[in-house]
Each structure stands twice: as C-alpha cells, then as structure tokens.
Chains A and B, each alone.
Chain A
Amino acid sequence: MQQDSPVSVLRRLPLLMGFIILFATVLFFRLWYLQVIKGAYYQELAESNRIRPIKIRPPRGVMYDRYGRPMVENVLTFDISIVPEDAPDIDATIAKLSPIVHLAPDAMHKIIDDAEPVRVKYEPVKILEEAPWEEIAMVETRQEDLPGVIVEPEHRRHYPYGGMAAHQFGYIGKVTQTQKKQEQADTGLLVGQSGLEKLHDKLLRGVAGRRMIQVNAAGMKVKDLGIEEPKPGTDLYLTLDLDVQRAAEEGLGDRAGSVVAMDPNSGEILAMVSHPVYDPNLFPRGISSRDWVKLSNDPSHPLYNRAVQSVYPPGSTFKIVTALAGLLSGEIDPNEKITCRGYLTSGKKAFRCWKKGGHGSISFHDALVQSCDVYFYTMGDRMGFDRVAQYARNLGFGSLTGIELYDEKKGNVPTAAWKKERNGEPWYPADNYMNSIGQGFMLVSPIQNCQLVSLVANGGIFYQPQIVKRTRNRETGEQRVFPPIKKRTYAIDPAALELVRNALIGVTTEAGGTAHGAATPLAVVAGKTGTAQVIAQKVAGQRLSESTQDHAWFIGYAPADNPGIAVAVLVEHGGHGGAAAAPVARKVIEEYLKHAGTKTAQ
C-alpha cells in the first residue's frame, strides 16, 4: 500500500485546534457570566418568578354522518370549581358555597383533599359538574362573596341520539393506568375506551391548551401571562347515513339482534345496529360503579357489538353458498328435478323439510325460492360438505371482513378434519345435510352475511368495509379522504350468478317465495330468509319460551338490477326469518331508496 503522508492535513490542524479552544473559552466565560456573575439574579428568577401552566381541555372531534349531520358532538356545559390558592379563607368560601351547590362543607373539603396529590397549584378543583343555570347565576352574581370560586366552561361529549349506533362510536372515559404509561396521556383528559372513540382517539383528542400564570415565591399569582388556546380534535365524517341508521334501529325495535347495511359498490357501511344498546352518555360524566356492573353483567350483553362480535348459525341464508358451490363445481344442473316428500332419510334417521307435505318435484330455481331443505340436503351430500366449505371460505366466511372495529369474530367453517379434531367424531352424511342448510357447525357474523349478499350483488368484489369516509381538521380545513379499497375479487361465473340472482328476486316476488315481507313498491328486492334453529329437537306441543325460539335472518340487496344497498338482518329468537327479519330489511331499504341520489354531502 502506498504511504501517502498527511502533510496538507497537518498544516491545517492548528486551525481546528484553535477553533476548539476559542469556542470552549467563549462558552467558559458565558457560563461564568450566567452562573457566577448573574447567578443570584437567575436564582431569584427561578425561585420567585415561575410560570405555572394550567391545562385547558380541548374539545374532541365531532363525528358526522355521511351528509354532515352530527351524530357525536360536544355540548358546552359549566362546572362550578374552586381554586384553593385564590381563596384567602377556604373555610369561609366553602361555607358560603355550600347552600348554593347543595353540598355539605365536609364533602367539599373531601373533594379538594382528594384532588391534592395530582393537582398543580392554581389548577381548579371541580365541585359541581354540569351545574344547573340557577346555581351558575348565583355564583356569578355573588363573585365578591365567593373568592376562589369560578365557573369553568367545559366541552362535554354528547351523543344526541343516545344509543343509536352506540357500538360503533364507543365511549370515552378517564385515562387508565396502562394508557398513561403507553402514551403519557394526560391524567385529566377523557379518552376513547372502545369503538371509534378509541380507534381514532389520537385524531379525536386534540391538543390541550394552557393558561399560563406567573406566581411568586409564596406561590401567589403575580399576573396572567395569557392563554394558549387548545386545539380541537379532528372531525370524522362517517359512512353512516343517519336516516338509514334510524330506520334500522326502529325496525329492530326492542328485539335483540343486529342490522348491517352496506353499499356493495364501495364497502361503505350505511347503517350498523346492535341491540340491546347502552347509553354512551353515561360514560363521559364518569359512570357509577353500580351502573357499570349492571351493564357488564347484563345477560343480554348490551356492550357487545353483535354486528361484528357475535356469530350465529346462518340457517337457510347459507343456501346461497351451497347453491353457488353446486353451480360452480358443476354438481348442480339447474334443470335437474329432485323429489321432495317432506323428508330425506339417512340410515335410520329422517331429516325433515320445513314444509311437511313436501315440495314435490322441484328444480334449482324453485328450490332456492321456496328454500326446500330436501333439495339442499341432496346437493350438499352429493358434493360433500368439505367442498362446500371451500366455496364458503372463498366467499369470505371463516375469516375477518377487516372492518375497523374492535374484536371482530371470524366465525367457523366446519370440515371433516375440523370435527375429528374437535370431538374425535367422524363426519356423517347427516353433517352434510345439516351444514348445507346452515344448521350445523357453520357460524357467521351479521357483517359476514352482509358481505355475502354484497358479493352476489357486485359479482364478487371484496371491498374493505369502511366506516370512516374522511377526516377534517377544523382549524386548518385539511382533509384526508379514504377512498374505497378493493381487497380482492372472487370471479364468479356470470351464468351461475344470474341463476342465483334470479332466484333471490323470486324469494320476494314469486308465489311460494319466503320473503314477501321484504318486498317494496319502490324497487325489486333480491334476498334470502333464514331461520336458524336454536335447539335441534323441539318437543311437540310445548309452548316455546323466547330463548329457545329460532334466530330469524334476512339478507338481501336492492334495487335488484342496479344494487345500491346490501342488508343483513338478524333477530335473536325472532322466530321465522320471513316474518321477523324481512320487514326490518324492507324498512331499511325503503329509507335508503327514498333518498337515493337526492341527498348531497354538506
């Protein structure tokens, strides 16, 4: 290797050395000046001239429906608070405030003492939140009498429609210990604890402002330095349509169950209902532990979002899958006729069709329209359910739809291997029968079933189900739009699709169709009913209590020739799908069609 000498570098190194020594000397004298010469002055500043920042909570982002109507908002309320440092005689102040707020002096002392460990000086202690206006007026007019008492404006979270769509919105509450550690969030702030409030908390939360006051050595206020305004949270514009949501809520009424409505051309969720509901307005005020225990132990599980977190046997709605599997695999010839005598035997056991007298000789179209069980027992057994299961998976069952909500369940698509592993039993022909009509081990969520009809409507395009359409920063006007996402396409043979679509139209229009209750004069509805048995064997003659009644399903889309909405309705223990679920879907579809194309976003 050549040994080049660093002569040129050597010549310049004194410059670097000079630079280091020069700068170090400058700093040395600067520190000497600050710390030794002016040290006492800065010491005094540090001791006596402190700035105390007091937090101001920012208003959370508002959630609007797709047309800009607020669904989750903030209301301005007023709290009566005490700043102990501003009260020369705290006992006197408390004594005078006591009759106004109807609180015993001892109780007020306790509130102030409890706040002490986490409070910074001059931070107000809330005595009465959301005070009625008479009390506020009393405090305001008697200001001189009540030194240290202030009225604090506060933006409080408000859900104007109560339980409507509550499971999607979620609720807010005090920051938990783990959240505090993870994101060093403020203790005083209310943050999202479930649903969209939690999922988009960082956006919705905003940035706290500060009121800066200068205090002296004794901690007394010297002067107000001003206010750094809080930055409000980012607003969310949802895909939900307030009118369609309301129609779905009202359609389901007091019954437990779920409704999901989606635009099959984009995956946008138009309505999502889960009943029973809770009132999210209970939470921002700090839910009482009694109410919390009641809610979380309620056997009807009001905190569950049934649309995505609960799975049910699909009942006869699954015949759409069995039908597509048969047509696509070539095992079903649409012209072939099967004879339904009202039952089909396997070994010694007879499996009944829902129609006792039987459907007689029946082909594909009528079998799907009239929901003939014997036809689908036969076809399911001919294919073997493992093959049907493959198509079910292709159509999205057994996996998550990916909607941006918490704890989505993926349900179950059974196979022979799955059953063997689960309880060691082999797969019987009877399993082919029962699972092919959706009564066995198949489990689906309402949103998966909505996705199924959406696929039939749009020809097999999987859109990412979407609930937030765009976000908007209130201060800068900056927007982020989330366009529809095509996740994948499952190419379904158009001929097979046509046969299924025609049969689904027949369900609501033809004689013998099971869902005339879903038909509307506004457009042709295509769909399928389902009645999922809760217990396999019913005891004849015994009156059924509600919890052993069947679950009622209806899934469908409209208008049949140009679908704009896909709906899944599930009524827990609702009885027959055609009677209990189809009319709910009709209400939702009618509400949608009434306004389709006429409403515009604000």
Chain B
Amino acid sequence: MLERRLLSNLPWGMVTLIAAIALLGIASVYSATYTPQGPSSLFTKQLIWVFLGVCVMIAALVPDYHTIGRYAYVLYAVSVAALVLVAIIGRTGMGAQRWLAIGPFAFQPSELAKLSLVLALARFYAEDPRSGNYGLRDLAIPAAMLVVPLILVMKQPDLGTALMLAFTATLITVLAGIRLQAVVAVVLIGVVVASAVFLVPPVRHAIWTKLKPYQQKRIKAFVDPASDPLGSGYHATQAKIAVGSGQTTGKGFRKGTQSQMAFLPERHTDFIFAVIAEEQGFLGSSLLIVLYVALLLMGVETAKNAKDKIGALMAGGITSMLSLYVFINIGMAAGILPVVGVPLPLVSYGGTSILTTFLAIGLLLNIRSRRFMLFY
C-alpha cells in the first residue's frame, strides 16, 4: 500500500527535470572525454556512476525521511571519522590529501561531509525547543558541528569544500531562524576580520605564508589573471575563452576547439560547464541555468509544503547546498568567482560527487512525496 501511494505521490515534474539535467551531463562528459580513439573509459565509468546514483536515489526514497533524520548524527559521526581517516592514511591526489581508497575505488569523504552536516544541523534545529529567534550565543553547538569537519577539510587542504561547508551551514542557520541582528553582527565581524587581514600587513603576511603555494597562486590569479597566464590563471583564462567563444548557438556537439584540443584543463570535472557553454552556446548554457533554477525552486517549494519542521529544514538545507554548488561552479567557469574545486551537481564527472548529489536529491523527493501523508 505504502509503495503505491508513494509512487502516485512522486513529483514527476521534478523527476523529469533531474533526468534532463543528468542526461545533459552524460552527453557533456562523453564529449569532454572523447579521445581520437573513440569514447574514453572515463565515460563508461561515468555511466556506471550515474546508474549507481539512480539506485542510491531510489533507495533514499523508500524509508520515511524521519527515519533518516534519526540517523543524521550517526551519519555525521561516520563522515567525520572518514575525514580523520583521510588525514591519516588518505591517498594524495593533485597535491592534496582527499581520497580514501576502498579496494579499487577512491572515495572522497569531504563530499559526504557536506550532506551529513546539512542533515545533522536540520535535526538539531528541528529538535531545538527554542525554535528560532537565535542570537549569536545560542549557536555554540551548531558552530561546533561546523568547525570539526571544517578544520579537517582545511587540513587536506581543500579550500573549496571548506567554503561550501561554511556557506551551507550559514544558509541553513538563516532558515532555522537566526535573529537578523545576529546576521548583521556576523557580517560586521567578518568585515572587521577581513579588513584586518587585508589591511594590516603583518596579519596578512602571517596568513598568506600559511597558505599552500597552489592556493596563493589561485588567489593571485583571480585578482589578476594576466599575472600568470601559464599557471593558475591558465585555467580561468582558458575557461573564459571557451565560454565566450561558444557565442549564441555554440560550436556544436564535440566541436568545441577549446575542449577537444585540450586547452581546457579539468574539463570533465570542475570545468564541465565551460564545455557545455562552448559547444551549446548561450542557448544551451542559459537553458541549463533555467533547468537548475526550476529544480532549486521546486526544492524551496518542497520545504514550504513539508509536513513538519525537520522536513522543511532538510529540504531547505539540501536546496541551499545544491544552489551553492551550482552557482559557485558556474560562477567559476564564467570568471566571476575564484577557481575552487566544486563540482557541478548531476553533471561533473566523479563518483563520490554523483552519489552524494543523487542521495541528496532522493531525500528531497522523499520529503516532497510524503507531504500529503499522515503519520502512522
């Protein structure tokens, strides 16, 4: 009975949107990884990952989301433990320690950490008797929940994920009902700290020397891409050329010169949007943005119609997280944000990213499907 009702309540509009974005992603990875000898093995892997992702999404639909909420802290503890494990034994990829090898698979716990932080914070705020109207002093526990994975991720070092964690936690706290005065206070503190960092030379120097050389280069390159056209600025410059040269209608599928001739680095992972923009033009890239906005607004609506507070917070938190992914990734390819390693949800190549995104979206569908249900 439950299954049939679940199926009839499934938001098919949202499912169609997800399928459309995922298919676009598969086609783009096919194009971005195509070799002169034919389709790359990365493409086959991506197909397998998407298939597994869909399985995970369906699995995330089956249990009542309250059950998942009950395990939120457990999931959080597991992902923190996995981050600690990475710090101890992780595999080094691209100069940073982010991967955990499980047999032949490399697994990136920082991706899972983002989702589990969302769920844990949702549960905390839902159960908190104060229920909104938080001042700064009331936020000690959620702040601690953020800081533990944050420090572990910064150790790796993975600035992109650290920023994602901080932004997501901020957004969900805003949703949970932080007092606006508190928000203003946070912003003020931020401004003061930032100006101290940038304007007081000894502090700036102390922080600057703490950064890894590749992070220094990326920040420099963002401020002035021309300063280093061969190194870090190369990514940004080449991505911008790729996006812009797509013009209105694009160069056509597998015809992007920037992408196909390998001028564009990381083109199947973090810079996949540049491939789409180059080959499909403004029409294609703005269509993708429209699809994402529709999906995200459905996420907002899911939160609005949720039966209870934990559902609303989970849906709101997941939507916030996905919005950040989408906007930071595209902003980076379009040259308005610095280059940080953030994948494009449902599109970028990468197993862990695909699985966690589908898991998150499965939870959204779960909450949306159960909005009419009574509790048994």
List the interface of chain A (C-beta within 8 A of B): 1, 3-6, 8-13, 15-17, 19-21, 23-24, 26-28, 30-32, 34-36, 38-43, 45-47, 50-51, 210, 212, 225-226, 228
Return the contact of B229 from the options A16, A30, A225 (Cβ within 8 A).
A225
Q: Which residues of A contact B282 (CB under 8 A)?
A: 31-32, 35-36, 39
Q: Interface centre among B244, B245, B334, B336, by most A CB within 10 Å? A: B244
Q: Which of A16, A23, A42 has the most CB of B within 10 A?
A: A16
Which residue in A15, A26, A32, A228 is a CB contact (below 8 Å) of B174?
A15
Q: Which residues of B contact A17 (CB under 8 A)?
A: 297, 300
**Contact call B230/A228, Cβ cutoff below 8 A:** yes
Distance of A31 Cα from B313 Cα, bound (Å) = 32
Contact (Cβ within 8 A) A35 B285:
yes
CA–CA, A31 to B174, complex, Å?
Answer: 29
Q: Is the CB of A20 within 8 A of B297?
A: yes
How many residue pairs link A and B with beta carbons under 8 A? The number is 155
| Count, chain B residues at interface, CB 8 A | 58
10 closest residue pairs by CB, A with B: A42-B244, A39-B247, A8-B132, A6-B312, A46-B245, A35-B282, A8-B177, A9-B312, A42-B245, A6-B309
A219 to chain B, nearest CB (A): 12
Which of the segments B47-55, B109-117, B235-243, B342-350 contacts the partner chain? B235-243
How far, in whole Å, are A35 and B241 apart by their CA atoms in the complex?
A: 9
Task: Determine whether the beta carbon of B245 is less than 8 Å from that of A45.
Answer: yes
Question: Is B219 at the interface (CB under 8 A from chain A)?
Answer: no
A46 vs B303: C-alpha distance in the bound complex, in angstroms? 44
User: Chain B residues near A32 (CB, 8 Å)?
Assistant: 282, 286
Q: How far is the CB of B28 from the nearest CB of chain A, in Å?
A: 16
Which residues on the A side are within 8 Å of B258 (C-beta)?
Answer: 46
Scan residues 254-300 of chain B and give those whose CB is less than 8 A from a CB of chain A: 257-258, 261, 263, 277, 281-282, 285-286, 289, 292-293, 296-297, 300
A23 contacts across to B, CB distance below 8 A? 323, 327, 331
Do B289 and A28 have beta carbons less than 8 Å apart? yes
Is the C-beta of B105 less than 8 angstroms from some C-beta in chain A?
no
Chain B residues, CB < 8 A from A3: 307-308, 375
A to B CB contacts below 8 Å, 17 in the list: A10-B312, A12-B176, A16-B316, A16-B323, A30-B335, A31-B289, A34-B243, A35-B244, A35-B281, A39-B246, A41-B244, A43-B245, A46-B245, A46-B258, A51-B229, A210-B230, A225-B230
Our pick among A9, A16, A28, A225 for the contact of B177 (Cβ within 8 Å) is A9
Please measure, in the bound complex, the distance between the C-alpha atom of A284 and the C-alpha atom of B335, giving whole angstroms: 45
State in angstroms the CA–CA spacing of A31 and B281 once bound together.
Answer: 9
Given contacts A16-B316, A20-B297, A24-B293, contact A45 B281 (CB under 8 A): no
Given contacts A12-B177, A36-B248, contact A21 B293 (CB under 8 A): yes
- The main secondary structure of chain B at its interface with chain A is helix
Contacts of A21 in B (CB 8 A): 293
Given the interface pairs A12-B174, A24-B289, A32-B282, the reply to whether A45 lies near B241 with Cβ below 8 Å is: yes
**Contacts of A5 on B, CB cut-off 8 Å?**
308-309
The complex places the Cα of A36 from the Cα of B249 at a distance, in Å, of 9
A6-B248 contact, Cβ under 8 Å, with A21-B293, A46-B257: no
> What residues on A are CB-neighbors of B311 within 8 Å?
6
Distance in angstroms from A558 CB to nearest chain B CB is: 42
Q: Which residues of B contact A15 (CB under 8 A)?
A: 174-175
Report the minimal beta-carbon distance from A231 to chain B, rounded to whole angstroms: 12
Distance of B328 from chain A, by nearest CB (Å) = 9
**Complex alpha-carbon distance, A226 and B248, angstroms:** 34
Q: Is B171 close to A, CB under 8 A? A: yes
B258 CB to nearest chain A CB (Å): 6
Tell whether, in the assembled complex, residue A26 and residue B177 are in contact, meaning their CB atoms are under 8 Å apart.
no
Determine if B316 and A31 form an interchain contact, defined as CB atoms under 8 angstroms apart.
no
The verdict on A39 contacting B248 (CB below 8 Å), with A5-B309, A31-B282 known, is: yes
Q: Bound state CA distance, A41 and B240, in angstroms?
A: 11
Tell me if A35 and B248 are in contact (CB < 8 A).
Answer: yes
Residues on A with beta carbons closer than 8 Å to the beta carbon of B335: 30, 34
* B79 interface contact, C-beta 8 A: no
Known: A34-B334, A43-B244. 20 other contacts (CB 8 A): A1-B66, A6-B312, A13-B300, A16-B175, A16-B320, A17-B300, A23-B323, A24-B289, A24-B327, A27-B330, A30-B331, A31-B285, A31-B334, A32-B286, A35-B247, A35-B281, A39-B245, A40-B247, A42-B244, A46-B257
CA distance A5 to B313 in the complex (A): 11
Decide if B319 is an interface residue (CB 8 Å cutoff): yes
Return A55 CB to nearest CB of chain B, in Å. 13
Q: Which residues of A contact B229 (CB under 8 A)?
A: 51, 225
A213 to B: closest C-beta gap in Å:
11
Q: B residues within 8 A CB of A28?
A: 286, 289
Given known A26-B336, A51-B263, contact A35–B312 (CB-CB < 8 A): no
Contact across chains for B230 and A212 when beta carbons are under 8 A apart: yes
Q: Is there contact, CB below 8 Å, between B263 and A50?
A: yes
Binary CB contact string for chain B from 131 to 170 against chain A (1 if under 8 A, 0 otherwise): 1110000000000000000000000000000000000000
Chain A residues within an 8 Å CB radius of B306: 6
Set of chain B residues within 8 Å of A43, measured between Cβ atoms: 244-245, 247
A455 to B229, CA, bound (A): 60
B292 & A24 in contact (Cβ 8 Å cutoff): yes
Residue on B with the closest CB to A44?
B245
- The answer for the CA separation of A17 and B292 in the assembled complex, in Å, is 13
Taken together as a complex, chains A and B put the C-alpha atoms of A228 and B327 apart, in Å, by: 33
B304 interface hit (Cβ, 8 Å): yes
CA A31 – CA B133 in complex, angstroms?
39
Contact A46 B171 (CB under 8 A): no
Given A8-B132, A16-B300, A23-B327, verify A35-B171 contact (CB < 8 Å): no
Contact B230 A226 (CB under 8 A): yes
In the complex, chain B residues whose CB is within 8 Å of the CB of A226: 230
A27 B334 Cβ-Cβ under 8 A: yes
Measured CB to CB, the closest approach of chain B to A9, in angstroms, equals 4
Question: Is A39's CB under 8 angstroms from B289's CB?
Answer: no
Q: Closest CB of chain B to A43's CB: distance in Å?
A: 4
What is the CA–CA distance of A38 and B334 in the complex, to the nearest angstrom? 13
Complex CA–CA separation, A299 to B177 (angstroms): 83
